[in-house]
Amino acid sequence: MEIPRRMRILARDDKEATTDRDPDFRRDDNKKIMLQIQALEILKTGANVFLTGEPGAGKTHTINEYAQYLRAHEIEPAITAATGIAATHLGGVTIHSWSGIGIKSELTKLDLNYINSNKYVTKRIKPAKVLVIDEVSMLSPSTLAMVDAVCRRVKQNIAPFGGMQIILVGDFFQLPPIVKNNYDKTPTLLNETVPRFAYDSPAWERANFITCYLTEQYRQDDANFLDILTAIRRNNFTNDHLGCIKTRKIELRQIPEDITKLYTHNVDVDTVNSKKLALLPNEPCEYLMNEHGHSFLTATLKKGCLSPEVLHLKIGASVMFTKNNSREGYVNGTLGTVIGFEPATSWPVVKTKNGQRIEVTPVDWTIEEDGKVRAKITQLPLRLAWAITVHKSQGMSLDEATMDLSQVFEYGQGYVALSRVRRLSGLHLLGWNERSFQVHPEVLAKDESFRTASKTAEKEFIKFTPKDLKQQHLNFVARCAGRFIVPGSEKKILVASKVFKKKKKKKTIGKF
């Protein structure tokens, strides 16, 4: 059955922590961690920022808060990500699509000229003041360099990324970029290491990022399990930690019912879900994805959408919600079981793990530009959830999961899978291999420099008075030709740059 057009709901990640903090946090010199609200205040100054932190630290929430702040001042940020899945979580597009580089691995002068002549690309880039790139861990150095080159060319500005505020978001301990093997190249006598991570790009160095390393934790609520994850992240995983992991080992016959299974390969996921659905009685109900807009843009949305184009459901099917909607009582990763179908609408009724009954109606995934919807797909925010891949689990929080890590083939893959679960008691392990508890050694070394840089930024940050910071925030809104409400006149909204022109010029407070 075809799903009709429904109320527009943008992808948001509102499941993570709020930023209600002590207003005098700037004066607390004893704080040892970077708080979300501190990172948000730094972002508002217009500085280029690398926002990082452990899974569940609230990176996506912080970016959504900043995007909301910018839009309140009529500044539309360009929200992008290295992968379609991450872009969908943020309600944005892939950086490859936004910048016009597509699948290119390098740019020639001819390529730059072509992109610069593409009116659709230039219409996006020229007016952009703020560019966000999420999941930067999966972005190669060459891709970041190409985006920088395109932005400078289109905006006719030699400053890094054409003078925009650039915000990179991600955790390099998670899945790294895919490296293509060039078997056709002649081997050399020099065993040189090819740069793999975005921070190896010259564009990263030129952008002079301030590192904001979030260390609060809003996902794991089990101190022992958090200690295990931290040990993996810091390369301090010991036999004691392994002993704790072994207590969660199960056999195939012990797999709990109606709990999501994480696998490293798609073929395992498809096999499990198909077999489980086929075992249920009755014919399945079929729901077809509806789409509107340019085929290229809708294809981008489909690639990043966790809900399938054709969804088959039966009573008893194990499902997972694929979007955030706190008003309806679910977030991306909420698990449940189909208990029936509404007679009047045929929409499925899902009972979540906490006992909540939800009639699931279609939602939209959109690509917006200049406040207008350019492409949209509509589907039920569900997918079969007996099994999913580790890759597609990024960004999710699960109460329980069964995992098979015996075929882990990449650094960070095991860490990503384990960190999806909130507590050790919710972990059920079929097996693991040696790489399951390893992180990339190069990232391990680099992470120390990120932590140090964040501490330095925090020390500088607390030196500013609230008045100084407010002035920097207003200065950036003015540079972006944004709008703000003049104090004492809540209804009157003025262009910030015009207001500043009326005032006597003051010396600009130094940026971070």
- In single-letter form, the type of residue at position 359 comes to E
| 391-450 per-position pLDDT tens digit | 777 767 788 899 989 988 888 889 989 988 889 999 999 999 989 999 988 999 899 999
The pLDDT score that the predictor gives to residue 371 is 61
pLDDT confidence tier of residue 296, bands split at 50, 70 and 90:
confident
Count the neighbouring beta carbons within 10 Å of the beta carbon of residue 175: 22
Q: Is the pLDDT of residue 109 over 80?
A: yes
Q: Is the pLDDT of residue 187 over 60?
A: no
State the burial class of residue 58 (Cβ atoms within 10 Å of its Cβ: 0-12, 13-18, 19+): buried
Q: What is the pTM of this model?
A: 0.71
3-state DSSP percent of the chain in helix, strand and coil, to 5: 35, 20, 45
How far is 366 from 489, CA to CA, in rounded Å? Answer: 35
Helices 239-246 and 223-233 pack at an angle, to 10 degrees, of: 130
Q: Is the pLDDT of residue 319 over 60?
A: yes
How far is 477 from 493, CA to CA, in rounded Å? Answer: 13
Residue 132 tokens read as: 């966000």
| 207-237 per-position pLDDT tens digit | 999 999 998 776 667 888 989 999 999 899 9
Q: Is the pLDDT of residue 10 over 90?
A: no
State the DSSP string of 32-85: -SB-HHHHHHHHTTT--EEEEESTTS-HHHHHHHHHHHHHHTT---EEEESSHH
The pLDDT score that the predictor gives to residue 485 is 63
How far is 293 from 275, CA to CA, in rounded Å? Answer: 35
State the DSSP string of 368-435: EETTEEEEEEEE-SEEE-SEEETGGGTT--BS-EEEEETT--STTHHHHHHTTBSSGGGEEEEEE-GG
The pLDDT score that the predictor gives to residue 159 is 96
CA quadruple 260, 266, 272, 273: dihedral sign: positive
The answer to whether the beta carbons of residues 381 and 323 sit under 8 Å apart is yes
How far is 482 from 353, CA to CA, in rounded Å? Answer: 44
Q: Is the pLDDT of residue 508 over 70?
A: no
Q: Is the pLDDT of residue 239 over 70?
A: yes
The pLDDT score that the predictor gives to residue 369 is 64
pLDDT above 70 covers a percentage of the chain that reads 81
CA quadruple 112, 117, 120, 122: dihedral sign: positive
Q: How many CA atoms lie within 13 A of 292 on its CB side?
A: 14
The answer to whether the beta carbons of residues 463 and 485 sit under 8 Å apart is no
The pLDDT score that the predictor gives to residue 400 is 87
- Nearest Cα to 213, choosing from 178, 173, 175? 173
Locus of tokens 């680099």: 446
Strand partners, 262: 388, 403
The pLDDT score that the predictor gives to residue 506 is 40
* Structural domains for the chain: 33-177+199-218 (3.40.50.300), 223-439 (no CATH), 467-512 (no CATH)
How far is 64 from 368, CA to CA, in rounded Å? Answer: 15
The pLDDT score that the predictor gives to residue 301 is 85
The pLDDT score that the predictor gives to residue 166 is 98
Instruction: Tell me, rounded to whole angstroms, the distance of Cα 84 from its chain centroid.
Output: 10
Please list, in sequence order, all residues whose beta carbon lies within 8 angstroms of the beta carbon of residue 311, skipping any fewer than 6 positions away: 286, 287, 289, 379, 380, 382, 383, 384
